[in-house]
């Protein structure tokens, strides 16, 4: 349990750094791995929101301004359903 | 002996409470975003800013020795002096001076003083999405959402779309959905440049207008600043318009510095 939490915090830090530097091609695969590994990985949605706030300031491009939030939310919902089906 | 299951009801209550908490959180975030749209960007930028500046310092030789930096400085000064000399005698400089003289004669000399300020690009495409640049100057430095952004060399590339205290976001005109009036080719055909992403634009010009790859595109201001270069022209005989694809004169993926026009009346 303790190891799981340490691993989760480590992955969170790595994800946060990749989001800050805008390395979305690292953030997305990392996030998907975390969604698979950890239960209720809501941090991914928070990181998607953070991504939009940093790089678009949440405005100016219509729906594209929320691309990070939409992608991470969709991935979280899809993975939750997928995990329920596979691990039943 | 038979016992009734007692865990389902508290479990359901727990899930209900968690769902209510999440819904309340989402509602609170949406409310803050609506009433104070700069609140979250300000926090996010404040967290990210030190990371960006450290990376920028490393990328720009913070780890080099003072001797190396002094040598590089001397070399760059020599290059600037040489380029200044070449520029002073070039056709472009003569045309620029003539343009300024003609504008003065026609009573259209600029009444505003352009103050170009160099801004460091802290994050840029492809690392940042949507053809946007994160700059190290903000509203405390006089940057506002009317500030125009130029590439080194003077090509107009975008506009500041959000300014916080010490950082700002510039949206390139090549960003999808952005548009800007331009003049294309030697005949200065008026058109609207529509951003396609990746530093490219498209525009529609009348069929048979004689636009060819390599033609210059300028902004539609009196100063006739560079805006791009035509890359290709697509012609369809059944279409009364030709599609012109043109690119920024500067590579947006390699920009480390840009110039901001902080004009003062």
Residue B14 burial (10 A CB sphere; 0-12, 13-18, 19+): exposed
Interface test with B, best of A20, A57, A67, A77 (most B CBs within 10 A): A57
Instruction: Judge contact between B242 and B206, C-beta under 8 A.
Output: yes
* Chain A residues close to B162, C-beta within 8 Å: 57, 59-60
Q: Tell whether B134 lies on the interface with A, counting CB pairs under 8 A.
A: yes
Rounded to an integer, what distance in angstroms lies between the CA atom of residue B202 and that of residue B191?
A: 10
Chain B residue whose CA is closest to A57: B41
Query: Is B95 inside any structural domain?
Result: no
Count of domains for chain B: 2
**Average of per-residue pLDDT across B60-88:** 79
Could you tell me how many CB contacts below 8 A there are between chain A and chain B?
A: 67
| Residue with tokens 């270069």, as numbered in its chain | B229
B94 in any annotated domain = no
Mean pLDDT of B222-231: 80
Minimum CA–CA partner of A48 in chain B = B44
Which residue among A21, A50, A53 places its CB closest to the CB of B51? A21
- For chain A, list residues with pLDDT below 50: none
Are residues B130 and B260 both part of a single domain? yes
Every domain of chain A and the residues it spans: 2-86
Does residue B159 sit in the same domain as residue B52? no
Instruction: Tell whether B59 and B124 lie within a shared domain.
Output: no
Range of lowest pLDDT (A17-26, B8-17, B128-137): B8-17
> Could you tell me if B166 and B264 lie in one domain?
yes
Q: Verify that B177 and B239 share a domain, yes or no.
A: yes
Residues B133 and B82 occupy one common structural domain: no
pLDDT in tens, B169-226: 888 888 877 888 888 888 888 888 888 877 888 888 888 788 888 888 888 776 677 8
Mean pLDDT in residue range B63-84? 81
Would you call B180 helix, strand, or coil by DSSP? strand
What domain range is B45 assigned to?
12-89
Domain-located, residue B60:
yes
pLDDT at position A44: 92
Q: Is B96 inside a domain boundary?
A: no
In a domain, B220, yes or no: yes
Q: Same structural domain for residues B50 and B161?
A: no
Q: Average the pLDDT over B99-105 and give the result.
A: 77
The reported pLDDT for the residue numbered A10 is 92
- Residue B130: the pLDDT is 66
- ipTM exceeds 0.90, yes or no: no
In this structure, what CATH number is given to the domain that contains residue B244? 2.40.10.340
The answer on B191 and B255 residing in a single domain is: yes
User: Where do the DSSP E strands lie in chain B?
Assistant: 116-123, 132-135, 148-150, 156-163, 168-172, 179-184, 189-197, 200-206, 216-219, 226-234, 241-247, 257-261
Given this model, what pLDDT does residue A29 score? 92
pLDDT at B265: 45
**DSSP letter at B238?**
T
User: pLDDT tens, B85-100?
Assistant: 777 667 766 777 777 7
B195 shares its domain with B260: yes
Show residues of chain A in contact with B51, CB under 8 Å: 17, 20-21
B107 domain-assigned:
no
Tens digits of residue pLDDT in B40-52: 888 888 888 888 8
- Do both B58 and B118 map to the same domain? no
- Note the pLDDT tens digit of each residue in B246-262: 888 777 777 888 888 88
User: Which pLDDT belongs to residue A62?
Assistant: 66
Same domain, B159 and B257: yes
Looking at the structure, tell me whether residues B80 and B209 fall in a common domain.
no
């Amino acid at each position: 349990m303790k190891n799981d939490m340490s691993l989760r915090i480590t992955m969170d830090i790595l994800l946060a750094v990749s989001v800050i530097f805008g390395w979305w091609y690292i953030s997305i695969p990392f996030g998907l791995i975390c969604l698979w590994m950890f239960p209720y990985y809501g941090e991914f949605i928070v990181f998607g929101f953070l991504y939009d706030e940093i790089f678009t300031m949440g405005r100016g491009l219509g729906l594209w301004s929320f691309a990070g939030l939409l992608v991470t939310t969709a991935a979280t919902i899809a993975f939750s359903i997928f995990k329920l089906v596979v691990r039943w | 002996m038979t016992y009734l299951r007692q865990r389902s009801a508290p479990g359901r209550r727990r899930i209900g409470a968690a769902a209510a908490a999440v819904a309340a959180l989402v509602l609170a975030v949406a409310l803050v975003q609506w009433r104070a749209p700069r609140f979250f960007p300000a926090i996010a930028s404040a967290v990210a800013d030190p990371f960006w500046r450290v990376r920028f310092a490393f990328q720009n030789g913070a780890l080099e020795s003072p001797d190396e930096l002094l040598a590089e400085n001397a070399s760059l000064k020599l290059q600037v002096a040489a380029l200044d000399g070449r520029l002073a005698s070039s056709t472009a400089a003569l045309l620029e001076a003539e343009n300024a003289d003609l504008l003065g004669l026609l009573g259209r000399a600029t009444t505003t003083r352009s103050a170009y300020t160099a801004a460091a690009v802290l994050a840029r495409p492809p690392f940042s999405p949507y053809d946007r640049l994160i700059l190290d100057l903000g509203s405390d430095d006089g940057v506002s959402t009317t500030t125009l952004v130029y590439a080194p060399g003077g090509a107009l590339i975008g506009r500041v779309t959000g300014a916080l205290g010490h950082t700002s976001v510039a949206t390139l005109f090549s960003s999808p959905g952005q548009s800007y009036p331009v003049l294309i080719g030697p005949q200065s055909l008026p058109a609207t440049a529509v951003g396609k992403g990746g530093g490219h634009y498209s525009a529609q010009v009348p069929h048979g207008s004689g636009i060819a790859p390599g033609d210059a595109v300028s902004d539609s201001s009196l100063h006739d600043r560079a805006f791009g270069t035509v890359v290709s022209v697509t012609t369809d005989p059944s279409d009364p318009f030709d599609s012109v694809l043109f690119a920024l004169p500067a590579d947006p993926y390699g920009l480390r510095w840009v110039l901001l026009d902080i004009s003062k009346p």
